[in-house]
């Protein structure tokens, strides 16, 4: 396990480093782009452009520029927005982070819970009409763009049927911190959570179902049945347990897509002032320092979350935890 942890830690550090380098190259070394003018955004004041060139050391070699940027990002933490003159970047991110965290964690819980239940239900009711029905629903769910679904849901809950008994509890678009009013926090977020999770539930229930059916054909399941275990025990302790391994490893990869992709869109659609909304606003305002900082911090969060999932994955699978060498 130690060997595994160390290897994973080194790889994570390397990925983090690579992400900063790549982001740096995108923002400061894309061919044909003048980074100073880009950073200034729609602000064409030559004095500002000149000061950016000086502040970021843009007339010096690339490695020096990289070091200076990293220093500003992680040590001095004094990046400012030039389009939104003088506003500090990091406090904005800090304020937005809890919103995004609320959005993605709630959605992830619903995603894992419902896809496990639906996947098991479909595999269990194989051969009846329930299985193809659930799988068809899953296919539709994973084919629906999350932001469009959000808009349609908004149309129904905020406008068309807002006055009906069904949706009168839905608050106006926006956000209330958990610490302020937990119930309102929940009422604000429950619909975004579900909307964000729907596509992943569709995908993961299908993945889990086919994994369950595949594992059921493994030799060790035959052994488990020959042992005289109850069908429920065979399914839960042997089949589901093995299916969860691939399920969790996939989850690690797609959690990044949830944070970096779906959450951004859902925050925009539901007016949640999270990191996604911040990226959206600064991207449409061409406010590059904010985009850069947000992307790097969000990427760090995703990569670290991936590392955590990988450790869970290793805990689930002794073959990885203990290394693959045979001792006998």
Partner 1 sequence: MTKEALLEVRDLSVSFRTEDGLVRAVGGVSFCIRKGEVLGVLGESGSGKSVTMMSVLRLIRDPNAIFAGEVLYKGRDLMRLPEQRMREVRGAEIAMIFQDPMTSLTPVYRVGWQIAEQIRAHQSISPNEARRSAIELLGAVGIPNPTARVDDYPHQFSGGMRQRVLIAMALSCNPDLLIADEPTTALDVTIQAQILELIMRLKDDFGSAVVMITHDMGVLAEIADRMVVMYGGRIVEEGTREEVFYDPQHPYTWGLLGSIARLDRPKPQRLTAIQGAPPSLLHLPPGCAFAPRCPQRFSRCEARPPLHDKLGTGHLDACFLEPEAKRTRRAVGIADPGLAPS
Partner 2 sequence: MTTTDVEAFVQDIRATGPQPAGPWKVAARRLRRNRTAMAALVVLIVIAVVSLASPLYAEHVARTDPFVSNVGGTTIVDGGRVDVLQESGGLGLGVTPIGPTWDVRHYFLGADNEGRDVAARVLYGGRNSLAIAFGAAFGCFLIATSFALVAGFFGGAVDEVISRGMDLIWAFPVYLIAISISTVLLTQNLELGPIELGSDSLILPMMIIALIFVPYVFRPIRGQVLAVREQEYVRAAIAQGASNAWLIRREVLPNVLPSVIVLLPLVTAINILVESGLSFLGIGVQPPAASWGSIIGDGQGLLYSRPWVAIAPGIMVVLVVLALNILGDGVRDALDPRTKLRVER
Q: Which is nearer to partner 1, 2 or 327 (CB)?
A: 327
Cβ atoms of 304 and 12 within 8 Å: the answer is yes
129 near partner 1, rule: CB under 8 A: no
Interface pattern 105-134 for partner 2 (x via CB under 8 A): ---------------------xx-------
Contact status: 205 vs partner 2 (CB under 8 A): no
User: Hunting for tokens 């602000």 — which residue is that?
Assistant: 43
Among 103, 189, 224, 272, binds partner 1 (CB under 8 A): 224
Q: Is the dihedral of CA 159, 162, 167, 173 positive or negative?
A: positive
SS (H, E, C) 78-91: CCECCCCCCCEHHH
The pair of three-digit structure tokens given for residue 75, joined into one six-digit string: 């040590």
Place of tokens 């990002």: 73
Per CB under 8 A, does 223 bind partner 1? yes
41: partner contacted, choices partner 2, partner 1, none (Cβ within 5-8 A by kind):
partner 2
Q: What residue 327 binds from partner 2, partner 1, none (CB within 5 to 8 A, per partner kind)?
A: partner 1
C-alpha–C-alpha distance, residues 278 and 175, integer Å: 14
Among 149, 195, 242, 305, contact with partner 1 (rule: CB under 8 A): 242
Helices (H), 258-287: 263-269, 275-284
323 backbone φψ class: left, alpha, beta (φ>0; ψ -120 to 50): left
| Dist. CA 184–CA 188, nearest whole Å | 6
Q: Which of residues 41-100 bind partner 2 (CB under 8 A)?
A: 41
- Residues in the site for partner 2, rule: CB under 8 A? 14-15, 18-19, 22-23, 26-27, 30-34, 37-38, 41, 126-127, 139-140, 142-148, 151-152, 154-155, 158-159, 216-219, 221-222, 253, 256-257, 259-261, 264-265, 268-269, 279-280, 283-284, 286, 288, 291-292, 295, 298-299, 302-303, 306
């Amino acid at each position: 396990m130690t060997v595994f942890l160390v290897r994973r830690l080194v790889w994570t550090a390397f990925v983090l480093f690579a992400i900063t380098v790549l982001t740096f190259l995108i923002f400061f070394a894309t061919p044909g782009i003048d980074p100073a003018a880009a950073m200034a955004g729609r602000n064409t004041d030559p004095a500002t452009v000149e000061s950016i060139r000086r502040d970021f050391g843009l007339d010096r070699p690339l490695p020096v520029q990289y070091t200076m940027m990293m220093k500003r990002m992680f040590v001095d933490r004094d990046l400012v927005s030039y389009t939104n003159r003088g506003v500090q970047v990091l406090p904005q991110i800090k304020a937005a982070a809890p919103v995004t965290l609320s959005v993605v964690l709630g959605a992830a819980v619903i995603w894992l819970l419902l896809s496990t239940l639906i996947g098991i239900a479909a595999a269990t009711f194989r051969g009846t009409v329930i299985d193809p029905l659930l799988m068809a629903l899953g296919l539709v769910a994973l084919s629906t763009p999350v932001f469009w679904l959000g808009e349609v849901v908004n149309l129904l809950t905020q406008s068309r049927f807002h006055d009906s008994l069904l949706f009168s509890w839905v608050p106006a678009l926006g956000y209330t911190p958990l610490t302020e009013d937990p119930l309102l926090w929940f009422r604000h977020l429950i619909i975004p959570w579900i909307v964000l999770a729907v596509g992943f539930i569709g995908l993961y229930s299908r993945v889990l179902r086919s994994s369950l059916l595949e594992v059921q054909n493994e030799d060790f399941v035959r052994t488990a049945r020959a042992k005289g275990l109850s069908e429920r025990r065979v399914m839960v302790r042997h089949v589901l347990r093995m299916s969860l391994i691939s399920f969790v490893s996939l989850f690690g990869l797609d959690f990044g897509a949830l944070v970096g992709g779906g959450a951004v869109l859902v925050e925009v659609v539901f007016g949640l002032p999270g990191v996604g909304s911040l990226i959206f606003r600064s991207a449409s305002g061409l406010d590059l320092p904010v985009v850069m900082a947000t992307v790097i911090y969000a990427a760090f969060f995703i990569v670290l979350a991936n590392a955590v999932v990988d450790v869970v994955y290793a805990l689930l699978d002794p073959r990885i935890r203990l290394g693959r060498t045979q001792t006998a």
